[in-house]
Amino acid sequence: MSESFDADWLELREPFDARARDFGLALALSAALPARPRLLDLGAGTGSLFRWLAPVLNRPQAWTLVDADVSLIEFAFDTIAMRAVDVGFEVSAPNKRTLLVHTPSGAWRVDGLVRDLADAPEGLPLGKADGVVCSALCDLVSRRWVERMAEGLRLPFYAALNVAGDARFLPPHPADGIVARGFRRDQRREKGFDGPALGNEAVRAMAAAFRAQGFDVATAPSPWRIGPAETRMLSALAKGHTEAARRWTPRGGAAIGAWSAARAAQARRGALRALVGHTDLLALPPGR
């Protein structure tokens, strides 16, 4: 089964994702879609991409949230409904698997599909979609997965927030290099998508695969910029880097431990910042 993430982490990262995604590429996707687009959201998690992109599209639309974890899809429905009501939209549920958000720009329909994406695009309802979208997914998948996706699609493909491999914590620390190398190795491990994960090679691999199929490909940077007041995110990032580095650098235990302690202390006193590079990608088939 492909790798999944817990709802707490996905909720924590959502505001950072929202302010990092490139607005220009989202508008280009919107322009390539029909008046009432139908979107497949792969690895949808808690529905954060829907909450960000649906207002950008700003017209009647239908989404299918695809995830292997049924509990995340249920969480997504609850969160979408709650936040829609918070901003004054009416919400209805014609059945247990469908949510309708009634907005001034028209109805936004949301359906859920429980599906392991390891063999995608096989098993996906591509014939009922006008575009395929995802966020923070394609650095987890393999090169073979990306090539199959490019070969199987004749629809716009939008992939936001692919890691760029240049995460930096500031101020500098002597063990930064050891931790960064271990973290990059961890990003390339097998994550259930038919081979080693692409990690920071994801955008290059996607661009090559889609261009080979005649798609026009555009990319844009979408970095997280995390300030010293955002202590919860900084602490979670430092902890994740520490755990990954320890898995892959067992002989560096003392240096990694010192790094972890220093970063935790800096986060507590508001003396830590981080920059985590990502890149968004949009691939449009010929004629779009």
Quick one: average pLDDT of 130-145?
97
CB-CB neighbours of 133 under 10 Å:
25
For tokens 């220093």, what's the residue? 262
The DSSP code for 129 is -
For the chain, give the mean pLDDT: 95
Contact 95, 29 (CB under 8 A): no
pLDDT of residue 1: 45
Quick one: average pLDDT of 169-187?
94
Helices (H), 62-192: 70-86, 143-152, 176-187
Q: Cα separation of 282 and 14, whole Å?
A: 20
pLDDT of residue 250: 78
- Burial pattern 147-178, b for ≥16 Cβ within 10 A else e, equals bbbbeebebbbbbbbbbbbebebeeebebbeb
The DSSP code for 189 is S
Quick one: average pLDDT of 74-85?
96
Contact 281, 218 (CB under 8 A): yes
pLDDT of residue 288: 67
Question: In this predicted structure, which of 68-72, 95-99, 145-149, 155-159 has the lowest mean pLDDT?
Answer: 95-99
Set out the domains of the chain in order of their start, with CATH numbers: 7-164+195-225+278-284 (3.40.50.150)
Contact 102, 92 (CB under 8 A): yes
pLDDT of residue 192: 87
Which residues lie closer than 8 Å to 148 by C-beta, 6 or more apart? 120, 121, 122
Quick one: average pLDDT of 25-29?
98
Confidence of residue 287 (pLDDT cuts 50, 70, 90): confident
Which residues lie closer than 8 Å to 208 by C-beta, 6 or more apart? none
- The type of residue at 274 is A
* pLDDT at residue 4 is higher than 80: no
Which of 94, 98, 152, 89 has the alpha carbon at shortest distance from 120? 152
pLDDT of residue 35: 98
Quick one: average pLDDT of 150-179?
96
* pLDDT at residue 57 is higher than 80: yes
